[in-house]
Amino acid sequence: MRRSSWAILGAASVAAGIYESAFLGSAPFPFCYLHPVLPCCVLFFLLNRRAAAYATAGLSGAVMDLMSAGPPGLVTVRWLCIMLMIDLLAEGVATNRSLYASMLLVGAARLADRVLWLMAAWSLHFLFRLDPVLESWARFLGILSVDLILTATFFVLISLFTKRFVISVSPRRTRYE
Amino acid sequence: MTRQGRTALTVLGAILALAVLHITTILVPVEDWLRSALAPLGSAATSAGTGLAKGFKGRMAIEQCNEKTADLETRLSSVSVDYVRLRALEEENEVLRKTLGYIQREGFDAVMARVISRSAVPERALIMIDRGSKDGLETGMAVVVGDGVFVGKVSAIQERTATVTLLSDPQSRVAVARSGQRRLIGLVEGRSNWTAEVTLIPQQEALDTNDILVTSGTEEKVPPNLTVGQINKVESQPTDPFKQASLQPLVPLEYIETVAVLRPQALRPGS
């Protein structure tokens, strides 16, 4: 990636972190279910921009940790761990770049985030007597649904306007070659 | 070593380095500076979210509007009676003060602050403000809006920012008295979803709907007579030692954008 791309990515990551930490707390329905960082990071993996995915997760997570009014949620650590997991899944399990694979990866990322948040909450409770209240499962399902819709939309848009996910086969070759 | 192994090592190393630097407080000044630098952006985002929420809430159904109007009219009539009585008392008080040469010294001054973020988990009512220990703020100080309507207390403090626990947060506890009386009558506990409840009210305490509750002044850093809210409904079982009541905050806590922290004058920087 070029330097200018990195600069844009950095600014966008900070903006996304601010959006998730400051805007979402007061935003009404349906905006309060729109958490764009994880789906965007997964799309970076699908576009073979691994470094961009890690950078976005790290930077947005750090802004979230700095600016969140709630008790510490260790967002940077959670999201970097999720990126590691998605990296492994994208290389070894959901290897094709299809719509279903992208939705599977986003679903896995959101579920892993919830599990890691639960673990962080337990650790914070036992180690520091802090009680971070987790969002309800109903809200979690709402966020997951919006994630899947967002991913599908991005995927279709990328497929329509670029040739990133198009599988091209030479017309000279037969189907068995 | 594989590419993924190298990435995993790098990421884990970064996490470990961050954790060590944070725990040893080496990172704290940097974090504080970054928080301060991002505060204008946070404030703008919070303001935008609040504006959007207000806009969405503005689109109420006609039935809801009628219901709300009827409710407000009932309250207005009840408050009007209180207002007339209070005006008379105020005039009397003014005359008495002049007579006695009374000098009012509350001993608190206000530090204005902007809300730079809100808890994204709807069950919690926490806000972050752009003032901190550098401005003389301390944990436990009262936070008010408008003409001294109490909305919460400072619960965590950094150098340039602070976290405020609003009175509707499940972990918030505020000692209250009835308006005009300094006697403690109960405890306001947050119940999330921007509501609160008054608990531990002795059975013999006569408390009615629309009564105004104020801070009791029993907490060291919270001055007395700050308006906390209005009683919505009193619930009492004759077998229970205490009764409880639901409390409606006088300002919409979800839309707060600017607050004032009441600082004892002794803690004012330079005093």
Nearest Cα neighbor of A110 from A176, A35, A58, A6 is: A35
Q: Does B27 touch chain A (CB under 8 A)?
A: no
B69-128 residue pLDDT tens: 888 887 787 777 777 778 778 877 776 766 555 434 456 788 889 899 888 887 888 999
* Distance from chain centroid for Cα B179: 18
Nearest Cα neighbor of B81 from B243, B208, B195 is: B208
- Report which secondary-structure segment, H or E, holds A42: helix A37-46
CA distance B106 to B126: 27
Q: Which of A18, A88, A134 sits opposite B41 (nearest CB)?
A: A18
Q: What is the DSSP code (8-state) at residue B66?
A: H
Give A155's Cβ-side CA count (13 Å radius): 24
Q: Do A26 and B53 touch (CB under 8 A)?
A: yes
Asked if residue B22 lies in contact with residue B34, where contact means CB atoms within 8 angstroms, the answer is no
Find all residues with CB under 8 Å of B135, minimum gap 6, and list them. B111, B263, B269
- Report which secondary-structure segment, H or E, holds B177: strand B173-178
Q: Does A44 touch chain B (CB under 8 A)?
A: no
CA distance B249 to A4: 49
Question: Which residue of A18, A32, A66, A140 to mutate against B (max B Cβ within 10 Å)?
Answer: A66
Confidence of residue A57 (pLDDT cuts 50, 70, 90): very high
Q: Which of A23, A66, A136 sits opposite B46 (nearest CB)?
A: A23
pLDDT computed for residue B102 by the predictor: 40
C-alpha distance from residue B121 to each of A130, B52, B101, B182, B184 (Å): 15, 18, 51, 35, 32
Q: Which of A24, A27, A133 sits opposite B124 (nearest CB)?
A: A133
Residue B45 phi, psi dihedral angles, 5° rounding: -65, -40
pLDDT computed for residue A14 by the predictor: 93
Residue B155 phi, psi dihedral angles, 5° rounding: -110, -20
Radius of gyration of the CA atoms of chain B, in A: 23
Confidence of residue B50 (pLDDT cuts 50, 70, 90): confident
For chain A, percent helix, then strand, then coil, each to nearest 5? 70, 0, 30
Residue B259 phi, psi dihedral angles, 5° rounding: -135, 170
User: CA torsion angle for A136, A140, A146, A151 (degrees, to 10)?
Assistant: 160
A64-104 residue pLDDT tens: 988 888 766 688 889 999 999 998 888 888 777 788 889 99
Chain B residues with beta carbon closer than 8 angstroms to that of A21: 42, 117, 120
Q: What is the DSSP code (8-state) at residue B110?
A: E
A109-122 residue pLDDT tens: 999 999 998 888 88
Could you please state the CATH topology (level 3) that the domain comprising B108-267 is classified under.
Answer: Thrombin, subunit H (2.40.10)
Å between B30 CA and nearest CA of chain A: 10
Chain B residues with beta carbon closer than 8 angstroms to that of A26: 46, 49-50, 52-53, 118, 254-255
CA distance B123 to B126: 10
Which tokens is B249 given? Answer: 């905050």
Q: Which of B56, B116, B123 sits opposite A67 (nearest CB)?
A: B116
B128-149 residue pLDDT tens: 999 999 888 999 999 998 778 8
Asked if residue B118 lies in contact with residue B46, where contact means CB atoms within 8 angstroms, the answer is yes
ipTM comes to 0.80
- Report which secondary-structure segment, H or E, holds B108: strand B108-118
Establish whether the linkage from the previous residue to A30 is cis, with ω within 30° of 0.
Answer: yes
